[in-house]
Chains A and B, each alone.
Chain A
């Protein structure tokens, strides 16, 4: 499963194929992600993006090809998946190695997502956005080399999503984990990522670096957006 990757590569895939029954979900996928890069993985439902994330998280071992992931991996799922019967702070540090499983560590991680004051709440009393931030704090408390985010903002309203994007950008700048963000939202990908990968029918159909200047260059950003939508196979009358 693990092969020697080229120096500075955090995630490396060679000819990775995964099929459920006949149709391959991932079809001979090749991919290299350098350390500390933030990659958005775009694709329609069924394009294999969640499958890819699951195999990088070692939740799926039944694949052919070579997969190498350097260092520790942490995941934030589409739903927060907090243990409802443990206080917020316990949720953040549970599962960490003995000495790291303490309240001070939890409070530090919660402070980074600006929720330290909710440390003693029950998860069921949190709003969707708060729970998702706790889930993010839990992933970051593990100080992962590789952070996998599976549509973590899918269930949030537009305003909360925007503040989450800003939060993520700040956290990335601070922690610099290699990040793979699965999303189906082109604007979210452009807002967060250094690089956008488009997955279609189990293959990479588009691989675009997002220039930092594009935030302040609407024309260039729009051009990139159009290219990505083409890669996704979105027809002109499907576009907003």
Chain B
């Protein structure tokens, strides 16, 4: 009797504790996993949208002059790729992006490092760059046309500006955010000022710089698209504009898809760069 009186509450307590544990595990990773697991595959709705689109086109509900059906877009894409038309347009546009990025990245990195590392640089460079940054750079198109005409220069410049500003900001703040404790240790350990920059400041800025580069790449593609709409005799934008004249909505969509794929591609490249350059952040050996 005594035993049961004594043991009953203790059993109750241990029971409660056990329940607690079960609840905690259930509310912990279990719930997260459940909320992440979707009831249908995530591509299902996408396929649904495509199917509806195709159906609307076949039933003449959606005129091909407004939007071509997915099937036509796919065959047009295949045809354009086969004829070399898409390839040469792609080459021209990629060339513009490449040259624009070359100038933009060079300017962004150089200015960012100058203003981040030197107090003189910061005092002299940062105010004008910050002022320029507030201008919507795509709004500069009319001025650029007046200044540089309508061929390659204004396009490349727009792309360069698109990538340069985010990169500048990221590097500027990244360098300035270097851990003062690490800089102090470097001083005590006899680092030369060059070694302090190379081994402390630059690596501290790298994660920021890569985020800035990804943002900048997004803006660079956007700049290319806008610039190519203005006046082009070659490239993806030319292909799209040309297609508009003849109501070829299938060609327009193919062009847009190619833009999207290219953007995705460069983003993936930077991510891969991030993974390699920042491997020290992971637990890998």
Residues of chain A touching chain B, judged by Cβ–Cβ distance below 8 Å, are: 57-59, 73-75, 77, 79, 81, 83-86, 94-97, 120-125, 138, 142
Contact = CB atoms under 8 A, between A and B. Distances in A.
Interface in B175-210: 181-182, 184-191, 195, 199-200, 203, 206
5 contacts: A84-B281, A85-B280, A95-B195, A122-B285, A142-B189
A73 B200 CA distance: 21
A120 B285 contact: yes
Contact of B182 (A81, A125, A142): A81
A185 B206 CA distance: 40
A83 B182 contact: yes
A85 B186 contact: no
A83 B283 contact: no
Interface string B259-285: 000000000000000000001110111
Interface in B204-258: 206
Given A75-B189, A122-B279, A124-B280, 9 more contacts: A59-B187, A75-B188, A77-B181, A79-B181, A81-B185, A83-B203, A86-B280, A94-B199, A122-B285
Nearest to A87: B280
Contact of A124 (B190, B195, B281): B281
Contacts of B182: 81, 83
A85 B204 CA distance: 9
A57 B186 CA distance: 12
Given A59-B187, A94-B195, A85 B203 contact: yes
A125 B190 contact: no
Nearest to A148: B188
In order of increasing CB-CB distance, the 4 nearest A-B pairs are: A95-B189, A81-B185, A85-B203, A95-B191
Nearest to B181: A81
Nearest to B190: A95
A74 B283 CA distance: 30
Nearest to A138: B189
A57 B188 contact: yes
A77 B185 contact: yes
Contacts of B200: 83
A79 to B, nearest CB: 7
Contacts of B188: 57-59, 73-75
A75 B187 CA distance: 10
A125 B283 contact: yes
A207 B200 CA distance: 40
A88 B86 CA distance: 50
A60 to B, nearest CB: 11
Contacts of B181: 77, 79, 81
B280 A142 contact: no
Interface in B3-21: none
Contacts of B184: 59, 81
A84 B182 CA distance: 10
A123 to B, nearest CB: 8
